[in-house]
Amino acid sequence: MSGRIKPVTAVAIIFFLVSAVAPLFVSSWATLFALILAKGIVVLGIILLLQAGQVSFGHAMFFATGAYTAAFWGKYVGGGDIVLFIALGGITSAVFGLIVGLFVVRYREIFFGMLNLAFSMVLWSLLEKMFHYTNGADGIRVPRPALLGLSFTPETFQYVILYVSLLAAVVAFYGVQRYLESPLGHMLRAIKSNETRLEYLGTSARRVLLIGYMISAFLGGIGGALVAIIQQIATPEFGFWTKSGEFVFIAILGGSAHAFGAFAGAAMFECVRFYAAAHLADTWQLILGVVLIVIILYAPNGLIGLRQRYGQAKQGGH
C-alpha cells in the first residue's frame, strides 16, 4: 500500500491535468471544462449524501442559492470579485443548509428526499414569483467579475474562470476524500450500513448527517456561484427539481462509490450535451436519457464501477 497511488486517484490526476491543458488548444473547451468542474463540485455534495445512503432530490436549492448570492451581489452591491462570489456563495449555502438540515436530517430515505424536494420547490417558487427582487423567470444577469481586483477581456476571462474552477475542484475533491477517510466520514458512511450501531457507539447520527449535509450544501453553493459566473446569469431554473434530478443523475452516471465519480459523471454528461446539442439539435435530452438507462441497467456502479468490473474480469481470466 505504502506510497502506491490508487488507479482512481491516478485517473483523477490525469483528468485534472487534461482539463488544465486541453482548453489551451481548443478555446471552446475552456467553458465546457469550467462547467464540468463546477458541476462536479456540486455533485461531490450529492455523493457525500449518497455515502450516507440518502438521496437529496432537492439539492438544486443550494446550487441556486450560490448562484443567486453572486447575482444579488452584482445587482444590489455592484462590482464583485470571483473569490468573493465563491466564498459568499459557499457560506450562504452552508447557512441555508444548516437551517434546512436541522429539519431534514431527522428523516431517512423517501421522507428525506421528499422534504428536500419540498424545500427546493418553495425556493424555486419564490425565485420565480418575487419579480421585484429576482426578475422572475428571466433571471438576473451576473456581470463579469474581477479576480482579486484585476479585470479581464472576455477571451482571457474564460481561461481565468476555468483555472479558478479547476483550483476549487481540486481542493474540493481532496477535501471530500480526506473527509470521507476521517472518523467523521466513516461515521457518515455508517448511517448507510448500520445507523442503530452508530447510535450505540454514543454518537448522534443526526449530528453526523447534519455536518455532512452542511458540507454538501457548501459545495452546492460554490458550484452554483461558479456556474452563475461562467454562464453570466442566474435563473429560477437553477433551483427547479429537474436540476436536482440532473445532479443525482450525474452522481449515478459517474459512480457514487468514489469522489471522482462526480467529475467522471459531469464530464460525460456535459460532453454528451455539448456535442449532441451541436450536432443533433433538440435531442440531447433523449440521448442522455438513453445513456442513463443503459448505465443503470448494465453498469449500476457508474463509470468508475466499469473499471472495477473490467479489472476483476481480467483477474478472473488469468
Partner 1 sequence: MNSTLAILAILDGISYAALVFLVSVGLSLIFGVLRVVNVAHGSLYAFGAYLAATFSLAVAPISPWLTYPALLAASIVIGVVCGGFIERFLLRPLSGQEDVLQLLITFAAFMIMDNLQRLIWGVQPIFAAEPLRLLPNVAVFGVSYTSYQVILLPGVALATLLGLRYFLRRTLSGAVILAVTEDREASTAIGIDAKRVYFVTFVIGASLAALGGALASPTTSLVPGMGADMIVLSFAVAATAGLGQIEGTALTALMIGLTRAFVIYLQPEFEVLVPYLLMVLVLLVRPFGLFGAVQVRKI
Stretch touching partner 1 by CB under 8 A, among 67-75, 79-87, 116-124, 168-176: 116-124
DSSP classification of residue 22: G
Comparison of 38 and 205: residue with beta carbon closer to partner 1: 205
109 binds partner 1 (CB under 8 A): yes
Per-residue contact flags (x/-) with partner 1 for residues 136 to 175, judged by CB under 8 A: ----------------------------------------
96 binds partner 1 (CB under 8 A): no
Compute how many residues bind partner 1; rule: CB under 8 A.
49
Cα–Cα distance between 125 and 120 in angstroms, integer? Answer: 9
For 168, counting Cβ atoms within 10 Å of its Cβ (0-12 exposed, 13-18 middle, 19+ buried), the class is buried
CB of 42 to partner 1, least distance (A): 17
Which stretches does DSSP call E strand in 193-307?
233-234
- Where in 185-214 is the site for partner 1 (CB under 8 A)? 195-196, 199, 205-206
55 binds partner 1 (CB under 8 A): yes
5 binds partner 1 (CB under 8 A): no
Grid cell digits, residue 307? 473499471
Q: Which of 72, 81, 128, 147 binds partner 1 (CB under 8 A)?
A: 128
290 binds partner 1 (CB under 8 A): yes
Q: Are 128 and 1 in contact (CB under 8 A)?
A: no
For 150, counting Cβ atoms within 10 Å of its Cβ (0-12 exposed, 13-18 middle, 19+ buried), the class is exposed
Comparison of 289 and 311: residue with beta carbon closer to partner 1: 289
State which H helix or E strand residue 193 sits in. helix 183-200
C-beta neighbour count of 312 within 10 angstroms: 10
| Nearest Cα to Cα of residue 139 among 31, 233, 274, 1 | 233
Interface residue list for partner 1 (CB under 8 A): 50, 55, 57, 103, 106-111, 113-115, 117-119, 121-122, 125-126, 128-131, 195-196, 199, 205-206, 240-242, 245, 248-249, 252, 282-286, 288-290, 292-293, 296-297, 300
